[in-house]
Amino acid sequence: MWCTTSPESRPLLSSGSSFTSPPVPVDRNLREKEAVSQSFTTVSILGAGPAGLYAAILLRKGFPDASVVVHERNPQRATFGFGVVFSDRALDFMQSDVPELLDLIRPDMQQWSDMQLSLPTRDVKLDGVGFSAVGRMQLLSRLEQYAVSLGVKIKYESEISDIGELRTDLIIGADGIQSRVRDSDIETFQPALSYFNNHFAWFGVALPFETLTQTFIETNLGPMNAHHYRYSSSMSTFIVECEPRTWKAYGFDGMDERQSADTCGALFANTLKNTPLITNHSHWRRFPRLWCKRWVSGNRVLLGDAAHSAHFSIGSGTRLAMEDAIALVRAIREEKDLPSGLAAYERNRQPIAEKITNAANRSAEWYDAFAEKMKMPPLDFAKDYLMRSGRIDLPQLRKMAPQFMAEYDHRAR
């Protein structure tokens, strides 16, 4: 199962790769470490999402002798959703491990330093709330190209239904919220899964919004909200959400994707400037609240959404998934053997991820109550919004959003 690595023995750029960037040198520190540490020979990764692809990249960089195969149930270039947004540090965490990959992704990214709340009575600008965004497809394509260039084998349309059939030394469950790896040992992983109340649907639109905006509207059948931001020079994400009774009242439960898109398009016609919404697996869903007590079972380990969920309103699920991959590979590198590495990953990573998922859960709870909160005066609503995840107190908010707070304080006087 274990073998000593010899980093020089394997070319980093596979001959069949279509990736055109120069070969990536192995990190010098890694080489030194590998001279004294051990590696594994075979790894199966379920899922070519951000967690799976990033783990594959880091494993091939850290353990060039390991054979890493990613199984993805979907065809190549088929994924759900549109753009994803990242709060504050965006993808800067990639800087230390794969700066060249970050350089490839950066040009695809959109960035802005303020956001906007669009309320029925007025708009409120929230300064200092910086975000960046990228198309999920663009991100996955870059990760995929880079992974292949390092010798990762990605098998598309390869759905693994029986984990027991995999005979590799390490099995990584990066297979998202419906994880089969997690299901393969519920007693050990102990997932706690429930769902938030609101219904949401993830659309796109060929309209580049100026900044990340939360639009809250009153409609005849109840309040509705849209999270929207551009993720390329021509495209934006447009996520619509509402509480269950509004969702029922519109009959969204009986509509197909196109009908839902047209209905939401009509309701948000002003915001959308009558541009039609685009669908891509844009079914109505309720966001899951998932936390697994354990992330390791024997040689099986969970990453990203397979282990925990983070509501999209704090823009952290993708980053969390990729940072899990960093934590996993680091732990395997630093410990004396694979079991100790997996144990260290769970021990060290869980408290960090838990803090973020707790903040995301509080944010999701805020959205579940947004219809009621819309009765607040706009500036109170905005302040409540900014403090919803419990991560910042008032002095921090004053530092972060001085212009908004000046307006808030002026109004309060």
* Nearer CB in complex with ligand FAD: 44/246: 44
- For the CB of residue 16, give the shortest distance to ligand FAD in the complex, in Å: 22
Return the residues of window 350-409 that contact ligand FAD according to CB under 6 A.
none
Q: Is 175 in the site for ligand FAD (CB under 6 A)?
A: yes
Question: Which amino acid makes up residue 258?
Answer: R
- Find the length of the chain: 413
Q: Is 74 in the site for ligand FAD (CB under 6 A)?
A: yes
Here the tokens at position 140 are 């996955």
Q: Is 7 in the site for ligand FAD (CB under 6 A)?
A: no
Exposure of 80 in the CB half-sphere (CA atoms within 13 A): 11
Strands (E), 23-128: 38-40, 42-46, 67-71, 83-87, 110-112, 115-118, 123-126
Q: Which stretch binds ligand FAD (CB under 6 A): 2-10, 82-90, 94-102, 388-396?
A: 82-90
* Nearer CB in complex with ligand FAD: 73/230: 73
Q: Which helix (DSSP H) or strand (DSSP E) does residue 230 occupy?
A: strand 222-230
Q: Which of 7, 135, 151, 315 binds ligand FAD (CB under 6 A)?
A: 315
* Nearer CB in complex with ligand FAD: 117/212: 212
* Nearer CB in complex with ligand FAD: 34/136: 136
Give the total of residues touching ligand FAD (CB under 6 A): 34
Distances, alpha carbon 220 to alpha carbons 217, 223, 246, 275, 380, in Å: 10, 8, 9, 22, 24
Q: Is 17 in the site for ligand FAD (CB under 6 A)?
A: no
Distance CA 9, CA 302 (A): 30
Distance CA 39, CA 59 (A): 10
Return the residues of window 103-122 that contact ligand FAD according to CB under 6 A.
none
Q: Is 91 in the site for ligand FAD (CB under 6 A)?
A: no
- For the CB of residue 306, give the shortest distance to ligand FAD in the complex, in Å: 6
Contact 317, 305 (CB under 8 A): yes
Contact 309, 176 (CB under 8 A): no
Q: What is the C-alpha R_g of the chain?
A: 22
Q: Which of 159, 256, 337, 409 binds ligand FAD (CB under 6 A)?
A: 159
Closest CA to 342 of 327, 357, 363: 327
DSSP 308: B
- For the CB of residue 73, give the shortest distance to ligand FAD in the complex, in Å: 4
* Nearer CB in complex with ligand FAD: 71/333: 71
| Residues making contact with ligand FAD (CB under 6 A) | 46-52, 71-74, 81, 84-86, 159-160, 174-176, 180, 202, 239, 304-306, 310, 312, 315-319, 321
